[in-house]
């Protein structure tokens, strides 16, 4: 996927915390029962937190740049 110009990450990274190698139609929803958190789950959650933090920072920078450009006119 292509990196978004504003967020600086791909949509997959922002939503899943990683890049995917399969089409979205092949990605399966997680099981509904509550399972103990494994190392994978903790890593996954941390990847999502980092991706969302990166998106927030990129959005803030983009908003400041857009406001500056808008205010010049």
- Here the tokens at position 13 are 């990274």
Q: Tens digit of pLDDT for each residue in 3-17?
A: 888 888 888 888 888
- Here the tokens at position 7 are 């967020």
Instruction: Output Rg (C-alpha) for the chain, integer angstroms.
Output: 16
Q: How confident is the model at residue 30, as a pLDDT? A: 53
The Cα–Cα gap between 7 and 22 comes to 22
Does this model's pTM top 0.85? My answer is no
Q: How distant, in Å, are the alpha carbons of 30, 55, 56 from that of 16?
A: 12, 13, 16
- Here the tokens at position 50 are 């980092």
The Cα–Cα gap between 17 and 58 comes to 16
Q: Tens digit of pLDDT for each residue in 23-34?
A: 555 555 555 666
Nearest partner of 3 among 67, 45, 54, judged by Cα: 54
């Amino acid at each position: 996927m292509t990196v978004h110009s504003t967020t600086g990450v791909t949509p997959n990274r922002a939503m899943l915390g990683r890049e995917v190698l399969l089409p979205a139609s092949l990605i399966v929803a997680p099981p509904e029962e509550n399972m103990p958190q494994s190392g994978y789950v903790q890593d996954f959650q941390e990847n999502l937190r980092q991706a969302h933090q990166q998106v927030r920072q990129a959005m803030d920078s983009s908003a400041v740049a857009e406001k500056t450009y808008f205010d010049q006119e």
